[in-house]
A and B are shown apart, each in its own frame.
Chain A
Amino acid sequence: GENVEQHPSTLSVQEGDSAVIKCTYSDSASNYFPWYKQELGKRPQLIIDIRSNVGEKKDQRIAVTLNKTAKHFSLHITETQPEDSAVYFCAASWGGNQFYFGTGTSLTVIP
C-alpha cells in the first residue's frame, strides 16, 4: 500500500516569513495530492491540491509543487500570518480513492 512521509513534524516561523512542508510517497500510481489544514478539535479543511499532470499550483499565499520522478511534493506558505498556525496534513491517493495521510506538521507562526 501507499506510504506517505511528512517533514518536519513541527515548524515555527516568524510572522511574514515563509514555511515549507515536504512529503514523499511510495506508490508511483498515486496521482492526486491534497493538502489539509486542521485546527485543534476541528475538521480537516482542504487548502490546495495538485494532480500528477501538473508540476506546480498556486493560490494566493499558498503553493504546492510536485516532483513525480522523485515522488515528493511540497507545500509553500508565503507571508505567514498567525492564523496560519495549525496542523497541516499531506495526502496521496489514486483517483481520489483512499487517502493516505502524512503524519502531520504542527505550524506555529510567531507574531
Chain B
Amino acid sequence: GAVVSQHPSRVICKSGTSVKIECRSLDFQATTMFWYRQFPKKSLMLMATSNEGSKATYEQGVEKDKFLINHASLTLSTLTVTSAHPEDSSFYICSAREGSYQETQYFGPGTRLLVL
C-alpha cells in the first residue's frame, strides 16, 4: 500500500513553454501533498504544501505564479511550471500524506525536467 505515482517521469521542453506534472496517490486518499525540488547530489527542498480543496502554501522564495499547484481531488495534485526557463531544470518530487493525523510521507518517483 501507500503508493504514489508521478507523470511524466521525464520531460524536455523549450524555453517559454509550460509543463504540468501530476502526482497521484494510488491506493489511499491524500489530504495533503507536498512538492519538492532536488538538484543533482543535493537535498530535497520543500517548495509548497498542497491541501485538497484549498490554495497551496508556498515556502519562502518560491514564486507561486511560476509554480502553480492545484489539488483538485484527494488523489491528485498537479504542479505546473509556467514559462519554463533553463534554470527551472531540476528533479521534482511529490509526496503524499494519508490523512491529517498521519505523519509519514510517501514519495513519488520524481519527474526530471529539462528546459532547453
Instruction: Tell me the B residues contacting A by CB distance below 8 Å.
Output: 4, 32, 34, 41-46, 49, 59-60, 93, 95, 97, 101-110
Contact = CB atoms under 8 A, between A and B. Distances in A.
A65 interface: no
A41 B110 CA distance: 8
Interface of A: 1, 32, 34, 36, 41-46, 49, 51, 87, 89, 93, 95-104, 106
A102 B107 contact: no
Contacts, number: 58
A49 B46 contact: no
Contacts of B101: 96
A23 to B, nearest CB: 11
A107 B67 CA distance: 33
Contact of B104 (A46, A87, A104): A46
Contact of B43 (A43, A89, A95): A89
27 contacts: A32-B103, A34-B103, A34-B105, A36-B107, A41-B110, A42-B109, A43-B107, A43-B109, A44-B107, A45-B107, A46-B104, A46-B106, A51-B103, A89-B43, A89-B44, A93-B103, A95-B103, A96-B101, A96-B103, A98-B34, A98-B59, A99-B44, A99-B46, A99-B95, A101-B43, A103-B42, A106-B41
